[in-house]
Structure 1
Amino acid sequence: MLLEVLHYPNPTLKKRSKEVIRFDHELHTLLDDMYETMIAKDGVGLAAIQVGRDLRALIINLPREDKTQYKEDLLEIVNPKIMHKEGEIFFSEGCLSVPNFYEDVLRFDVIDIEYQDRFGQMCRLQAEGYLAVAIQHEMDHLDGVLFVDRLSIIKRKKFEKEFKRLQKNKR
């Protein structure tokens, strides 16, 4: 089922998500619906809070070289924690909750995370480059942080100006 993606400045997006303690059918349905929603919206990642559920759960499905997203590449990441981080990378980011705005954000280039899968099994993953950036972007959502919150003051003002212009044009 397609879910509604919340858009900036919805205050729910600023909430800190709660740890998942029940790995049940309800969680599985949410993850499945998040995947369907993310694909329908041409996204590569989605956090539960973006669809109004304040749970520490996110999904990521990066496209392969042929620009196609394959479901077998889907990462379902629940209760993630960064265990190690190194290096820096600037990456042009966008967000389903901040449509039509892209900006370079500084992230760690390599991260090691521990997380649980949809069944509660502990997993570990080392990610670098695009995947590391996507994980950090989605993990930020779990703490109520949007990528625009990480912009410099000048870039943030540019975003606010553009956002107000787009809102005005919608009326």
Structure 2
Amino acid sequence: MSQLTILQFPDPRLRTVARPLDAVDDEIRQLADDMLETMYAARGIGLAATQVDHHVRMLVMDVSDSRDEPQVLINPEIVDRSGSQICEEGCLSVPGEYAEVERAEAIRVRALDRDGQPYELEADGLMAVCIQHEIDHLDGKVFIDYLKPMKRRMIERRMKKQLRQAKREPASQAL
């Protein structure tokens, strides 16, 4: 396994709509493993393939307290939703930024597992938020798209400033 680079907003590749996978093979399973390693290393609870510059409809997540219940959803599709909840969200592609976003409280998702077998999953609370957030990434959306224009512009400016500063800082040299 290896860690992948997480794209940072405002990278335009985050706006790419992911394509469905026709088959689940060893290459896709390896990508899922690498995404899980990347997500755990970044201390996230979910990661969409789009965020690591692979534009296929796959996400990984682990919302367990013990961080030992990894899940892989390939070609996820929300087939039912109910209720409403407001939850403070953050994003590995928009580090350090958090905002309240309204999402469905409960969802039912149809997907393929890491072996290509179809299944359905009912989720509520944090798991429902996580799945909706990651599917948004697969559709080329970022959580700040749900914010009021002024708040969104403030976050966009801060992220662009961080990007400019990172480009100006000299790279450290290994001895």
- CA deviation digits over 1:22-42, x for unaligned, max 9? 211000100000001110111
Question: What is the aligned counterpart of 1:94 among 90, 93, 111?
Answer: 90
Aligned length: 166
Distance 1:168 1:115 in 2: 39
| Equivalent in the alignment of 1:9 | 10
Please tell me the residue identity of whatever aligns with 2:117.
Answer: Q
| Equivalent in the alignment of 1:141 | 137
TM-score scaled by length of structure 2: 0.90
Alignment of 1:62-73 (within 5 A): 62-64=63-65, 68-70=66-68, 73=69
| Equivalent in the alignment of 2:50 | 49
| Equivalent in the alignment of 1:125 | 121
Distance 2:81 2:74 in 1: 19
Aligned-residue sequence identity (percent) comes to: 39
Bigger mean CA deviation after superposition, 148-157 or 111-120: 148-157
Structure 1 position 169, deviation (Å): 4.8
Structure 1 position 167, deviation (Å): 4.1
Indicate yes or no: 2:117 matched with 1:116. Answer: no
Please tell me the residue identity of whatever aligns with 1:135.
Answer: I
Alignment of 1:20-35 (within 5 A): 20-35=21-36
- CA deviation digits over 1:93-131, x for unaligned, max 9? 111111111111111110011111111111001100110
| Equivalent in the alignment of 2:171 | none
Computing the radius of gyration from Cα coordinates, the structure with the larger value is 2
| Equivalent in the alignment of 2:173 | none
Distance 1:84 1:123 in 2: 14
- Give the aligned CA root-mean-square deviation in angstroms: 1.3
Bigger mean CA deviation after superposition, 82-91 or 158-167: 158-167
- Is this contact kept in 1: 2:94–2:159, CA < 8 A? no
Distance 1:22 1:121 in 2: 10
Moved over 2 A (4+): 160-171
Structure 1 position 74, deviation (Å): 1.2
